[in-house]
């Protein structure tokens, strides 16, 4: 029947109809993956049938369709077509159908349920769906070695292009250990920099990267200035962070999205406990306190545990923040208790310090903290595993994770350098729109410190080990967490927030149940939510954190 049926069945790797396929795990359809959808080849037929059912439902219930079109139905994870279709089918299914054992009484009108499906299994004559895996126009055919890449940024001036080229060449010589060449390239770049506009665009970003490379080449021992603990003072860090918060929407998006998810997770609970992995000035919490105050049915008892570095000058800055938040909570009639946990590093925190009690609903909130645990020392267990381990034992209702959407933890220096050049160029670009001073200037210093850490630090000093969502998904999945999807309602509210408070060019995107915020189609920060997978070994099917707390003492 089909002219290409024979062509498609040859050489297919997703052959569900072949006799050999029984032991092979079902593969994701590669072509649909290229279109952004995750559907297993073995599920295709089933998904197609559900699509048909949904279409029939839409056709037969035009009133419900128009309600669906104008309603605020929440959608989740559109990449998974099957589950998306099912969630919509349930919208059409909600009118109760008559029980099948009722006698056929006259006068009973059958409600507007779904008309019987018109699909006859035998009729499902789709074309052979085994697609030829032909999309590999490989690098080999173009004769290009895979690691030879060129960063292209759209710049007008030749000097700008030359600068990027020199940066790449310099980074490559650093990777190869050719430090005298690298050094002379630094000189070249610095003189070129004098001919370029360094107040904006590529000139500004290049300046910071040249600086970071210089530190790496000339003063590696001083690199500790921008990494490790006890370097820049906690006060300075908080100040820069606060200005970064004001100058651009990344942190506001993070707080807003996390708070929404936490609020939803706390629904129905009277005792709630938020553990903030990096309190800073507590900027995230006034909004949550106010939202809880306005909650239908009244606010819960809120406990907040804020983790932060110890203050060297005798002040207890954590307690000061706690007092201010308590004052706010009092003013809106929310019962509130604060506890500060001072720790130089997150891995130094032990769960007993958090004093979680078994009756409360716990939310763990990590804003740009988990990546700092990815450095590994062969002499100790990986800090990330230790921390994720005790989080899981707390069995939080939700864990909100905000991370940079970047791949800055690759082993090869050149790869890290290239990625970060592109990432921070985009971030600086977005900052151009900010007109607030000194917020903008201090925000730039905040970002500059990150750049320095990524480029000029190594080992335990390199804390900015950013990894993209895909890697976090895998890591958190392996550590026993499952995603709580952020839906179209969170997406819509984040988008609205942006239009109110930020310049045009920022965009929120949905990424398989997570949200990202980026600048002009380049995601820069991701927000996701997680929950511990129930422990199969425990008789109750839940992780018994109470028992484990005793052991930890």
Partner 1 sequence: MAGSNEVNLNESKRVVPLNTWVLISNFKLAYNILRRSDGTFNRELAEFLDRKVPANTIPVDGVFSFDHVDRVTGLLNRAQWGILELEKPLSTTKIVPVIIFFHGGSFAHSSANSAIYDTFCRRLVSICKAVVVSVNYRRAPEHRYPCAYDDGWTALKWVKSRTWLQSGKDSKVHVYLAGDSSGGNIAHHVAVKAAEAEVEVLGNILLHPMFAGKIRTESEKRLDGKYFVTIQDRDWYWRAYLPEGEDRDHPACNPFGPRGMSIEGLKFPKSLVVVAGLDLVQDWQLAYVEGLQKADQEVKLLYLKEATIGFYFLPNNDHFYCLMEEINNFVNPNC
**What is the footprint of partner 1 within residues 408-447 (CB under 8 A)?**
418, 422
Q: Does 105 bind partner 1 (CB under 8 A)?
A: no
Degrees (nearest 5) of the Cα angle 405, 216, 197? Answer: 70
Site string for partner 1, 144-183 (x = CB under 8 A): x-x-xxxxxxx------xx-xx------------------
CA-based nearest residue to 81, from 37, 114, 115, 122: 37
CB of 296 to partner 1, least distance (A): 25
Q: Where are the alpha helices (DSSP H) in 249-341?
A: 250-265, 285-293, 317-331
Q: Which is nearer to partner 1, 250 or 336 (CB)?
A: 250
Residues 6+ apart with CB under 8 A from 325: 282, 285, 286, 289, 304, 336, 338
Phi, psi of 272 (to 5 degrees): -130, 150
Q: Of 77-85, 100-108, 276-284, 327-335, which part binds partner 1 (CB under 8 A)?
A: 77-85
What is the footprint of partner 1 within residues 329-388 (CB under 8 A)?
none
**Distance, CA of 398 to CA of 118 (rounded, Å):** 42
Based on the number of CB atoms within 10 Å of its own CB, is 304 exposed (0-12), middle (13-18) or buried (19 or more)? buried
Q: Of 257-265, 334-342, 373-381, 484-492, which part binds partner 1 (CB under 8 A)?
A: 484-492
Distance of CA 524 to the CA centre of its chain: 9
Could you tell me how many residues of this chain bind partner 1 (CB under 8 A)? 88
Q: Which is nearer to partner 1, 78 or 286 (CB)?
A: 78
CB of 407 to partner 1, least distance (A): 9
CB of 315 to partner 1, least distance (A): 43
CB of 142 to partner 1, least distance (A): 5
Q: Which is nearer to partner 1, 158 or 313 (CB)?
A: 158
Q: Does 138 bind partner 1 (CB under 8 A)?
A: yes
Q: Of 275-283, 374-382, 443-451, 517-525, which part binds partner 1 (CB under 8 A)?
A: 517-525
Tokens 């997680």, residue located: 530
State which of residues 26, 40, 42, 51 lies at the interface with partner 1 (CB under 8 A).
Answer: 51
Q: Which is nearer to partner 1, 69 or 105 (CB)?
A: 69
Degrees (nearest 5) of the Cα angle 126, 127, 131? Answer: 125
**Distance, CA of 477 to CA of 372 (rounded, Å):** 19
Q: Does 110 bind partner 1 (CB under 8 A)?
A: no
Site string for partner 1, 2-41 (x = CB under 8 A): -xx--xx--------------------x-xx-xxxx-x-x
State which of residues 48, 167, 212, 374 lies at the interface with partner 1 (CB under 8 A).
Answer: 48
Q: Which is nearer to partner 1, 41 or 456 (CB)?
A: 41
Q: Are 355 and 321 in contact (CB under 8 A)?
A: no
Q: Does 315 bind partner 1 (CB under 8 A)?
A: no
**Distance, CA of 367 to CA of 365 (rounded, Å):** 6
**Distance, CA of 63 to CA of 409 (rounded, Å):** 52
**Distance, CA of 506 to CA of 431 (rounded, Å):** 11
Tokens 């500004």, residue located: 204
Phi, psi of 303 (to 5 degrees): -110, 135
Instruction: Give the torsion through C-alpha atoms of 325, 330, 333, 338, to 10 deg.
Output: 50
Q: Which is nearer to partner 1, 40 or 319 (CB)?
A: 40
Enter the tokens of residue 192: 């070129």
Tokens 């920060």, residue located: 525
Q: Of 76-84, 244-252, 340-348, 451-459, which part binds partner 1 (CB under 8 A)?
A: 76-84
Q: Does 470 bind partner 1 (CB under 8 A)?
A: no
State which of residues 10, 19, 69, 500 lies at the interface with partner 1 (CB under 8 A).
Answer: 69
State which of residues 176, 195, 520, 546 lies at the interface with partner 1 (CB under 8 A).
Answer: 520
Q: Which is nearer to partner 1, 25 or 143 (CB)?
A: 143
Q: Does 123 bind partner 1 (CB under 8 A)?
A: yes
Q: Which is nearer to partner 1, 39 or 329 (CB)?
A: 39
């Amino acid at each position: 029947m089909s002219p290409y049926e024979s062509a498609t069945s040859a050489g297919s790797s997703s052959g569900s109809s072949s006799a050999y396929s029984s032991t092979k795990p079902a593969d994701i359809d590669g072509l649909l993956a290229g279109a952004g959808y995750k559907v297993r080849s073995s599920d295709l037929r089933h998904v197609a049938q559900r699509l048909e059912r949904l279409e029939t439902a839409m056709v037969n219930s035009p009133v419900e369709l128009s309600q669906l079109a104008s309603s605020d139905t929440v959608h989740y994870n559109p990449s998974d077509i099957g589950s998306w279709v099912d969630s919509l089918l349930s919208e059409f299914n909600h009118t109760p159908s008559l029980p099948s054992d009722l006698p056929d009484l006259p006068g009973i009108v059958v409600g507007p349920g779904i008309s019987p499906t018109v699909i006859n299994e035998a009729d499902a004559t789709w074309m052979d769906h085994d697609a030829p895996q032909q999309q590999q126009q490989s690098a080999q055919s173009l004769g290009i070695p895979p690691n030879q890449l060129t960063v292209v940024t759209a710049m007008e001036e030749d000097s700008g292009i030359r600068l990027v080229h020199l940066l790449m060449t310099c980074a490559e010589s650093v990777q190869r250990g050719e430090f005298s060449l690298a050094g002379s390239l630094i000189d070249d770049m610095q003189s070129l920099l004098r001919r370029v506009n360094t107040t904006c665009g590529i000139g500004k970003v290049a300046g910071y990267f040249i600086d970071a490379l210089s530190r790496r080449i000339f003063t590696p021992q001083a690199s500790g200035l921008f990494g490790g603990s006890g370097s820049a003072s906690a006060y300075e860090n908080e100040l820069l962070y606060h200005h970064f918060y004001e100058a651009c929407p990344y942190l506001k998006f993070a707080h807003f999205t996390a708070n929404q998810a936490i609020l939803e997770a706390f629904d129905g609970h009277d005792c709630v406990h938020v553990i903030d992995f990096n309190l800073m000035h507590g900027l995230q919490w006034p909004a949550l306190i106010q939202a809880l105050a306005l909650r239908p049915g009244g606010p819960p008892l809120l406990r907040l545990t804020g983790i932060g570095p110890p203050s060297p000058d005798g002040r207890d800055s954590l307690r000061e923040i706690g007092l201010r938040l308590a004052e706010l909570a009092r003013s809106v009639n929310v019962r509130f208790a604060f506890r500060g946990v001072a720790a130089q590093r997150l891995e130094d925190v032990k769960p007993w310090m958090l004093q979680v009690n078994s009756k409360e609903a716990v939310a763990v909130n990590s804003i740009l903290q988990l990546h700092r645990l990815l450095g590994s020392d062969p002499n100790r267990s990986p800090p990330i595993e230790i921390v994720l381990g005790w989080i899981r034992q707390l069995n939080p209702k939700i864990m909100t994770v905000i991370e940079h959407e970047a791949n800055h933890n690759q082993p090869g220096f050149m790869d890290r350098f290239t990625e970060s050049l592109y990432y921070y160029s985009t971030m600086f670009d977005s900052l151009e729109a900010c007109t607030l001073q000194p917020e903008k200037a201090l925000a730039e210093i905040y970002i500059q410190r990150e750049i320095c850490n990524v480029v000029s630090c190594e080992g335990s000093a390199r804390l900015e080990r950013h990894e993209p969502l895909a890697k976090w998904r895998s890591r958190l999945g392996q550590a026993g967490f499952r995603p709580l999807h952020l839906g179209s309602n969170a997406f819509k509210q984040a988008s609205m927030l942006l239009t109110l408070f930020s310049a045009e060019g920022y965009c929120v995107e949905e990424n398989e149940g997570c949200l990202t915020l980026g600048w002009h189609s380049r995601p820069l920060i991701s927000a996701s939510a997680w929950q511990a997978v129930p422990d199969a070994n425990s008789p109750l099917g839940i992780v018994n954190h109470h028992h484990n707390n005793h052991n930890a003492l």
